[in-house]
């Protein structure tokens, strides 16, 4: 799975977004947590 990482500077949250489907994403306080949440939603 390929993804891109976004950072919300206001809330200090990372978002991992699936490159092929921008409707699939995961949020987290760390990059690793955001990626894990994305992978859990994709499963």
Confidence of residue 12 (pLDDT cuts 50, 70, 90): very high
Q: Is the pLDDT of residue 42 over 90?
A: no
Specify the number of domains making up the chain: 1
pTM listed for this prediction: 0.89
Mean pLDDT confidence for 2-22: 97
- For 22-32, how does the pLDDT look when each residue is reduced to its tens digit (9 = 90+)? 999 999 999 99
Q: What is the 3-state secondary structure (H, E, C) of the chain?
A: CCEEEEEECCCCEEEEEECCCCCCEEEECCHHHHHHHHHHHHC
Closest by CA position to 39, among listed 18, 9, 13? 18
**Domain span including residue 10:** 3-42
Percent of the chain residues past pLDDT 90, beyond the cut:
91
């Amino acid at each position: 799975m390929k993804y891109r990482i976004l950072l919300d500077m206001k809330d200090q949250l990372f978002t991992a977004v699936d490159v092929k489907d921008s409707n699939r994403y995961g949020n987290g306080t760390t990059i690793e947590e955001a990626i894990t949440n994305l992978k859990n939603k994709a499963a």
